Amino acid sequence: MNTVDSGPWGGIGDDHCPLSAALRLLGGKHTTMVMHCLVVGDLHFLELCRALPHVSRKVLTDELRALIAAEIVNRTEEGDALGRVRYGLSPRGRELAEILGHLYDWAAAGSNAGQVKRRKGA
């Protein structure tokens, strides 16, 4: 009998499945957009707010906290009088960004419109 547990990824969908956990993390409404912004380099919180004007500060903060907890994003306090904080992709986040780039290419190749093109460096 062929069960989900005997597939190539084991018990996909259960609470301990790393693939399911990754997909839950990426399922955040704005997670991929935040990562897209950080692929080009580190940004201050207000720079992220400006890059994502349709995302409230609370939601952006929640997304960043989830990405930090998953060790996808690093948070660095600059230690200046303004108390600025800089966010950037961790090495693990850079690996994920590369995978998302391949997923983007796959999705673009399969789109009916054929109008989606990957930008260089993204």
- Structural domain that includes position 74: 9-110
CB of 31 closer than 8 Å to CB of 66: yes
Does 116 map to a domain?
A: no
Does 118 map to a domain?
A: no
- Treating both helix axes as pointing N-terminal to C-terminal, what angle do 31-39 and 57-69 enclose, rounded to 10 degrees? 80
CB of 29 closer than 8 Å to CB of 71: no
Does 121 map to a domain?
A: no
Supply the CATH number for residue 41's domain.
1.10.10.10
How many structural domains compose the chain?
1
At 48, is the secondary structure helix, strand, or coil?
Answer: helix
CB of 118 closer than 8 Å to CB of 108: yes
Digits of tens for pLDDT over the chain (122 positions)? 445 555 566 665 566 777 777 888 788 789 889 999 999 999 999 999 999 999 999 999 999 999 999 999 999 998 887 888 999 999 999 999 999 999 888 888 887 555 555 555 55
